[in-house]
Amino acid sequence: MLEAEAEKATVLVPAPERREEFDGGRIVDISHYYREDMPEWESSEGSGEFLQLARSMRNGSDIANFSELRLTAHSGTHVDAPGHVFEHYYDTGFDVDTLDLAVLNGPALLVDVPRDKNITADVMASLNIPKGVRRVLFRTLNTDRTL
């Protein structure tokens, strides 16, 4: 009896297959690659060297190579929760880990933002985004720069 239970416990479940479609729509990854010259908040030089070999087996000091990744939380493609820009949301704990991921996945409207403008309330009004749209992707000057 114990052998049968042990055999059941060792059955491996295959990993889900990566899909290019979900719920009848195409999946588009809008993430940008990390590079040393990618923009970083309050830095005119970009993120700099963010990946380093922290410990190496080459010099005999370790049994494996260990890389170290150092980035700010606002590096690369990311999501900011309302708590990032509104103090009252921050104080109540409305942060990224409280966001429902279903909000971030699904059909989206792609709009072009004038390349000489920041996204302000006036620019938002000029984009004429229809009521009821749940997700909007903004194509900006940064998109053109492939940041």
Q: Which two tokens stand for residue 86?
A: 């509104």
Give the pLDDT confidence score for residue 26 in this predicted structure.
Answer: 78
Enter the tokens of residue 113.
């933002």
Structure tokens at 37: 């010259």
Confidence of residue 130 (pLDDT cuts 50, 70, 90): very high
Distance between CA atoms of residues 80 and 103, nearest Å: 13
Q: Tell me the Ramachandran region of residue 103: left when phi exceeds 0, alpha when psi lies from -120 to 50, beta otherwise.
A: alpha
Per-residue pLDDT at 35? 81
What mean pLDDT is predicted for residues 41-46?
A: 76
Is 80 exceeded by the pLDDT of residue 113? Answer: yes
Rounded-to-10 torsion of CA 78, 84, 86, 91 = 140
SS3 call for 1: coil
Residue 120: is its pLDDT beyond 70? yes
Q: What band does 25 get if pLDDT is binned at 50, 70 and 90?
A: confident
